[in-house]
Amino acid sequence: MLAATTGAGTGQAASAAHPIIFGAAADNQAQVTAHEKVLGRHMEGVRDYKSWGSPLFSSNQTWMRDTGHTLFLSIKAQRSSGARVKFADIAAAKAGSTLYNDMVSMATQIKAYRNTVYIIFNHEPEASGSNANGTGPQFAAAWRNFVTIMRAQRVTNAKYVATFTGYGFTRKDTKNVSYYYPGDTYVDAVAADVYNWGSCRSQPWTPMSSLVAGIKAWGAVHPTKPLMLMEWGSVEDKQVPGRKAQWIKDVDALFKQPAYGQFTALLQWGGLNINANCPFNYSTSATATAAWAAMGRDPAYTLNPA
């Protein structure tokens, strides 16, 4: 199940002939089946999150593989204990070192998965949560060494998706994506995590077209790289019932426009709400749930509808 089957990099709008991978965040079989119950159909894409040094696959991920789901696996440079793994140390890891052996173990696990898996090394590295890991150039060097080791271990079933915040593509400081990008040779696709925060952060109501303007402009300069959304969502407008549902309907329409043909995957945030005042799940209202389900049943978003 490769993004190339969706017309990646061809600039063709999402359609029944060139569907986008549609999905949501889920860690286990129960969460996937809960999403599918809402959709009333198979959900292709699954975004999962792992810590550095923790097992990457369990019976849940094997079930996902065997039931025709495409796995997008985030690996944070942070151990399950909370200890940060420095980008500079990953970049400098040599054969025989603990960090090198960690990456060899990951390579072994990925190969044993025996299906294409999209690997996201430390998503949103330019966000404040990754400041303790290191700088942009250090992240880029760590990414290159990570991929180099995967290749040296003959991992052939991995695709590498560099994933940033939407803001990272437009900000004017050293947190701009340009300081973090590892280079085209080491990246198969580029993604953003984007949210309409609305009043929960005293921000204006923002359409998806504005949220993805930065990555879309970046893609125009890198036309051979597929673009993806690894997380996306909106809050409700407490003053305007149904506004979130309409926002989702607009997302559905947006990515079917030819100008957005470089996008090949859209994975909605379906995990825990870290901030209870800013719930992004599609389940925040009956109308939002219906809009998300309708989008997932749209032929433009039904790749491999098993």
Tell which residue, 9, 6, 177, 11, has the closest CA to residue 23: 6
Instruction: Assign 200 a pLDDT band (cuts: 50, 70, 90).
Output: confident
Range in 5-19, 60-74, 212-226 the model is least confident about: 5-19
Q: What is the mean pLDDT of the chain?
A: 92
Q: What is the pLDDT of residue 271?
A: 58
pLDDT for 272 beyond 60: no
The first and second tokens of residue 46, run together, are 């699954």
Q: Max Cα separation, the chain?
A: 59
The whole-number average pLDDT for the span 227-251 is: 96
Domain extent, residue 168, equals 3-301
What is the arithmetic mean of pLDDT over 246-257? 97
pLDDT in the model for residue 306 = 43
Kindly state whether residue 281 falls inside one of the protein's structural domains. yes
pLDDT above 70 coverage of the chain, percent: 92
User: In whole angstroms, what is the distance from residue 161 CA to residue 188 CA?
Assistant: 6
129, part of any domain: yes
Q: Is residue 157 assigned to a domain?
A: yes
Beta bridge pairs of residue 118? 72, 159
Judging by DSSP bridges, how do beta strands 263-268 and 21-25 pair with one another? Answer: parallel
Q: Residue 270 sits in a domain of what CATH number?
A: 3.20.20.80
The structural domain count of the chain equals 1
Instruction: Supply 69's token pair.
Output: 């789901």
306 in a structural domain:
no
pLDDT bracket for residue 16 (50, 70, 90): low
Residue 249 lies in a domain: yes
pLDDT digits (tens, 9 = 90+) for 114-164: 999 999 999 999 998 889 999 999 999 999 999 999 999 999 999 999 999
The mean pLDDT of 9-38, rounded to a whole number, is 84
CB 204, CB 196: distance < 8 Å: no
CA distance 80 to 60: 19
Does the pLDDT value for residue 2 go beyond 70? no
| Chain segment 48-68, per-residue pLDDT in tens | 999 999 999 999 999 999 999
The structure's pTM equals 0.93
Is the pLDDT score of 4 beyond 60? no
Confidence (pLDDT) at 130: 86
Among 104, 109, 52, smallest CA distance to 75 is for 52
CA distances from 275 to 173, 229, 232, 247, 251 (A): 27, 21, 15, 20, 23
pLDDT tens digits for range 80-102: 999 999 999 999 999 999 999 99
Residue 112 is assigned to a structural domain of this protein: yes
